[in-house]
Chain A
Amino acid sequence: MGTAYNLAWRLFKHEAKRGELTIILLAIVLSVASVLSLSLFSERLQGALTERSASFMAADSQLRSSQPINPEWLATAREQNLGTAEQVSMRSMAFGDEKMSLVDLRAVNAQYPLKGTIKVATTPFGEATSTAQLPAPGEAWLDSRLFQLLDVSVGDTVYIGDIALTITSVLSEIPDAGFSVFNSDPIVLMRKADLDAANITGPGSRVTYKAYFTGDNHALDAYFNWLRPNLDDEIHRWRAVGDDDSPIGRSVARAGRYFLLASLLAIILAAVSIAVAAQRYSQRHFDPVAIMKTLGASKTTIQRIYALQICFIATVGIFLGVVAGFIIQQVVVIALAGTVDVALDVWYWRPVIIAVLTGVICALLFSLYPLLRLFSVPPLRVLRRDMDAKLSAKSLQFFAAGGAIFCLMWMYSQDLKISAILFASGCALVAGLLLVTLGLIRLGRRLGSGSMGARQLAWARIRRRAMDNSVQLISFSITLLLLLIVLVMRNDMVSQWRAQLPAGTPNYFLINITEQQKPILEKHFNQADVQMSDFYPVVRGRFVAVNDERVNTEVTKEDASRKDEGRDGLGREANLTWSDTLQPGNEITAGTWQGNDATAPKDGIYPVSVEEQIAERLDIFLGDELTFNIGSEVIKARVTSLRKVDWQTMQPNFFFVLSPAAMTAFSPTYITSFHLPTERKAELTNLLQPFPSATLFDVDARINQLRDIVDQVSLAVEFILVLVLAAGALVLIAQVQASMDERQQELAILRTLGARGSLIRLSVVYEFIIIGTVAGFMAALANELSLYLLQTEVFQMEASLHPLYWIIAPVAGAAMVGGLGAVGCWRLLSLNTTALLRKMV
């Protein structure tokens, strides 16, 4: 072992000093650094975004219950060092001196909220500021809308049940108000201690009890595991921050999957660069191995020397990679500080372990086959330089390398689907590239003949170095593919996010507009230069039966959007609208749209279109006959279509859309929405003064929150993109560098024979351009397959073709690979012929 150790160390030391290990060291450093920086950054960002998500839930986890929550459960949580808070909520009537309104009553204890902040204003719709306070016992904070609805002011009294509460502030925001903008009642915040005196939670009242918990994930998981046996699915619902199905939750989850994807691609990039470097390393050591074997070294000694050397390289590479990765990540975080809430002081061990493991596994498994080949070099090579390694089981390389990549991806992502999609795309690409290489060789045979110009030289070299070129083509293509996936995925994702909230998205909704008010309102708003959307007619109706079977279920949009919140919603009225055209953001998924037939059907059963989620929840199918009570009238309607509704478009949307013929007998009120820039908020009072009966919903704050999150996540995604692109560029440089070494011998011979530098340079550039173009084109093809699978199966996005990249990728491939080839060639040709020949020895 001593001899092997000494020799390994000596070889390592000298080769490192002479720069011969630069490529393989760089590959390992790059792989560890990119995996570490990406995953550390994404963990920190995920942590920050999860914290942000938690602030929209007012806690890390919530327990909702339709019955009072056992106080012992809360006591146990506190014993386990979890923070707890409580809320009791219900829909109730609130009374001013002369008016009343249905409200969303939230009675909280002193610990609420555990996460996020409450915002208050001094005047209705006024500028909101955060507060750490709560209404004191005997006080209430009211939503801006209620001041209008109840005709009250700060300092007045609001009556809820048997209790009179003093209004001490205007409630602008509470963390868990929810994102359902439509059909939500204005909130009244009061203390839980006052609830008993209000005497409104008697038997039969529909009350939701919430317990909030905060603490670290392990403690919360342990607590939930303890609690789970006590929970009844009919009564309780546990919700953790990751279960957040709000637009923010979905954006964060999608961003999380993107970070995961980027990290996985970084792992593959790392693997490709290490595989290329290990192959080059192995080939460079064929001669030393043959010499040592000739001089009497046993196979064991050779194996020890090189295994030890790989260990030295891996150790140094991993160490430098961890340092570099940490520095890159810190630089990115510092650059983003103030824009994205990323806590610098939070340290995650998982990325470090993953990065080190990636380095170790890649270094070992990707050098396994090159090392086995190296060990099989015959001593006879000292006499016959053309003698190659005996081992040529290429399938072993594919299985070892492929298996290593797949296991690494699966281990890291713990997501079989995303790993399988990327792996399958990679395999399809490799298979396709092998076929293309064969085609190129044939083409090269034809194009490489004739007089020796630069182009002929290039084709001739492609043909002659068929096997080496196929390996290079595959590695270039995979690198370009990974870069394309990250780039296109980012573009698609960010543009879809932004499309949800384009500039001018309505941030206010106005309901209860009468037929008479409609034209006046339009004129008034136009004069004030406020852009309004369409008016939608609405009639409140009760959904009472399906196929004459009575239902006892509330039917509101909010119910569906809060489906996982377990909202009961029984007996509530629904907003019914009618239209002869399909609303924007709606898509028919079954049946046919009712069209514009305004005549009453002979059987008195009108067509109705039902939103698909509510249809599923209420077991409504195409052809079912629905019954609605509107006032004292009964309307029957047959389901002629089911619709998919994009609830994330901040537009009025409806569960039931009837044909206009069904509603001719009813006088509707109208709903509209409008956009008013936040800085013009003060104009609201004047704007609405002529329409006291209309009710305003303010969703400006919620839209700004959503937009803020989308902007932050988009920015973070762009930084991740830059990181992966940088890693990819370095891998390309390493690949070109490695392949230039292989071309060195031929360049030296051509140079010695007197070939002009320009001819050699041009021929190399041609060769790299051809390889880069083919690699880019193949990457674009594989990119479509990968993206289709990723977008439909993993990101739940709409898949689309990207024909532009079919041009961009080959051009970029040709430019990058050709450019790098030219630089590499220039470097070699700057040496004089003697130095070039000497480098060959």
Chain B
Amino acid sequence: MISTRNIIKNVMTSEGELQILQPISFEVKDGESVAIVGASGSGKSTLLSLLAGLDEVSGGEILLDGEPLHTMDEEARARLRGEKVGFIFQSFMLVQSLTAIENVMLPAEIAGYKDAKARAQDILEQVGLSHRAHHYPNQLSGGEQQRVAIARAFIGQPKILFADEPTGNLDAANSDKIEQLLFQMNKDIGTTLVLVTHDNALAQRCQRQLTMLGGALTETTTASVIAQGA
């Protein structure tokens, strides 16, 4: 599903060009769940942004479902995201002036689905929020907002879902519910899951962990190793 070869990321600073990602190569298979872990500033979110096509690589190659992200312009990447990618963010990133159901409908409408509303109602039902469909985000709790975000991420049945600290803003009880929901839907729909997290428990529920340190990928741990370690 994802294949990277020697991807790097440089940024311009006042002291010149700075490489914030060392050459990174790895692959993620279809339906696999991968957690990117590491300390703050290690480059996790930067890697996620490149994998999701939110930012451009400075070098190397990325194939997303066989499509070369590294050669695409912003418009082509947006189209690819619309067709194949779903997102969940730590700060929920809901459009404040749209209701819950309208937020869920948003990607489906952008993709041009005629049945966006029906799909949104279905999926809100699945995440247990049909009764809150017409509430605005600031009328919902954090957990509810993240469930709306999950519904929005899955409405287009994406091939791959990127999640940035999906439980980072939630308390333990809500975190647990969100994790359950996320992995359940990942399983039901067969979506590949790539998430960035500080939460060990969440990372351990993934089949593989990629550990970042100082902009480099230092370690890849599979589920069996995790299980042995446990």
Contacts and interface: CB of A to CB of B under 8 A. Distances in A.
Asked if A and B bind, the verdict is yes
Interface of A: 3, 6-7, 10-11, 14-15, 18, 20, 287-288, 290-299, 301, 378-380, 382-385, 838-839, 841
A6 B109 contact: yes
A15 B97 contact: yes
Nearest to B82: A296
Contacts of A841: 91, 96, 137-138
A122 to B, nearest CB: 77
Contacts of B89: 382-383
Contacts of B43: none
Contacts of B99: 14
B54 A383 contact: yes
A214 B159 CA distance: 81
Interface stretch (B32-40, B73-81, B174-182, B205-213): B73-81
A520 to B, nearest CB: 90
Given A287-B96, A288-B96, A297-B82, 4 more contacts: A15-B97, A287-B93, A296-B85, A298-B78
B107 A296 contact: yes
Chain A interface helix/strand/loop/mixed: helix
A291 B95 contact: yes
B180 to A, nearest CB: 24
Nearest to B89: A382
B87 A288 contact: no
A49 B164 CA distance: 70
B75 A298 contact: yes
7 contacts: A11-B95, A291-B93, A291-B94, A297-B78, A297-B82, A301-B110, A383-B89
Contacts of B54: 294, 378-380, 382-383
Contacts of A291: 93-95, 106
Given A380-B54, A838-B138, A296 B81 contact: yes
A817 B60 CA distance: 55
B97 A18 contact: yes
A3 B138 contact: no
A295 B74 contact: no
A765 B138 CA distance: 29
B65 interface: no
A831 to B, nearest CB: 12
B57 to A, nearest CB: 13
Interface in B126-142: 136-138
Contacts of B82: 295-297
Contacts of A297: 78, 82, 110
A298 B109 CA distance: 12
Contacts of A292: 95, 106, 110
B45 A7 contact: no
Nearest to B139: A838
B112 interface: yes
A839 B96 CA distance: 10
Interface core residue of B54, B55, B97 (most chain A CB under 10 Å): B97
B97 A296 contact: no
Given A295-B110, A841-B137, A841-B138, A385 B91 contact: yes
Nearest to B155: A295
B81 to A, nearest CB: 5
B87 A295 contact: yes
A296 B111 contact: yes
Contacts of B87: 294-295, 382
Contacts of B97: 11, 14-15, 18, 20, 288
Interface of B: 45, 48-49, 52, 54-55, 74-75, 78-83, 85, 87, 89, 91, 93-99, 102, 106-107, 109-112, 136-138, 152, 164
Contact of B110 (A3, A14, A18, A378): A3
Interface hub of A15, A18, A20, A380 (most chain B Cβ within 10 A): A380
B115 to A, nearest CB: 14
Contacts of A6: 109
A292 to B, nearest CB: 7
A383 B81 contact: no
Contacts of A385: 91
Contacts of B98: 10-11, 14
A3 B74 CA distance: 20
Nearest to A15: B97
Contacts of B85: 296
A288 B83 CA distance: 19
A7 B69 CA distance: 28
Contacts of A295: 81-82, 87, 106-107, 110, 152
A384 to B, nearest CB: 7
Contacts of B111: 296
Given A379-B54, A383-B45, A3 B109 contact: yes
A15 to B, nearest CB: 5
A3 B112 contact: yes
B185 to A, nearest CB: 17
A7 B97 CA distance: 11
A14 B137 CA distance: 12
A296 B109 contact: no
Nearest to A18: B97
B48 A383 contact: yes
A294 B80 CA distance: 10
Nearest to A12: B97
A299 B48 CA distance: 22
A23 to B, nearest CB: 14
Nearest to A21: B97
B109 A383 contact: no
Nearest to B45: A383
B93 A296 contact: no
A299 B75 contact: yes
Contacts of B138: 838-839, 841
A580 B27 CA distance: 108
A375 to B, nearest CB: 11
A381 to B, nearest CB: 9
Nearest to A835: B138
Nearest to B110: A297
A298 B93 contact: no
B23 to A, nearest CB: 21
Nearest to B94: A291
Contacts of A18: 97, 136
Interface centre among A291, A298, A378, A838 (most CB of B within 10 A): A291
Q: Which of A3, A291, A296, A838 has the most CB of B within 10 A?
A: A296
Contacts of B55: 378, 380
Given A15-B97, A288-B95, A379-B54, A294 B81 contact: yes
A6 to B, nearest CB: 7
A457 B82 CA distance: 45
A676 B54 CA distance: 88
Contacts of A7: 106, 109
Most buried by A among B80, B102, B107, B109: B109
B119 to A, nearest CB: 14
Contact of B102 (A10, A15, A299, A378): A10
Contacts of B81: 294-296, 379
Nearest to B138: A838
A298 B79 contact: yes
